[in-house]
Structure 1
Amino acid sequence: MLVGVTHTDGRAEAARLAAKLWGLRILHGEKSCSDIGAPLLVISQFTLYGDARRGRRPTWQAAAPGPVAEPLVEAVVAELRALGAQVETGVFGADMKVTLTNDGPITLVLDV
């Protein structure tokens, strides 16, 4: 899961997102991660709030700054773990090499 945080997000949004992600029936046979105990990888991704509607250079103004975003990404992870999920994480703010393989033609943007 790539998790982006904006300025208006708070603990309530973190809890709603965790519950939604854990119960969303997007796996084979209309199963959710909670149905099969699937492990999750949560990566902070501020670029989800990139805006390139004007000009040729995206702006990241909608993304919350690190001191705001980091505790909320951690809250999503904590909420998922409280729901029983096995969660791995990246390093907040690090320049990481993450490989993503989509198994099927689906990518969802959830705005809770």
Structure 2
Amino acid sequence: MSKAFTLIEVLVVIGIITILLGLAIIFYHQYLSKAIKASLLSDVRNCLSLVAISKQENGTSSLSQVVATCPKSKYTQNLILESENPIKLTATSISGEVACSYNETSGLVLCSEI
């Protein structure tokens, strides 16, 4: 009786490992995309809190400076104040694949893949 693996057995194992790795990569990409969206959403909401405080204390005179000092996570490339009245704020990811926008008119923060 031979104790070695046959070529067919080795190829089957390699095929199974390849399929599992392919699935793992797909699930990791989906997980990373969700994490980036959550991070951008959090950054926009944190910045909106700072903007609201500044708007209450100083009016709308220095909102662009406030947005420039908003803290950003490692996934956020930039936070841009597109309009001060009504407030429109956009955050984009470093990869450029995800963007989250806030519009004061609707009061919603919407995230989308670019």
TM-score by length of 1: 0.29
Larger Rg: 2
Q: Identify, as 1 or 2, the structure richer in strand.
A: 2
The alignment's TM-score, normalised by the length of structure 2, stands at 0.29
Higher relative contact order (CA 8 A, sep 6+): 1
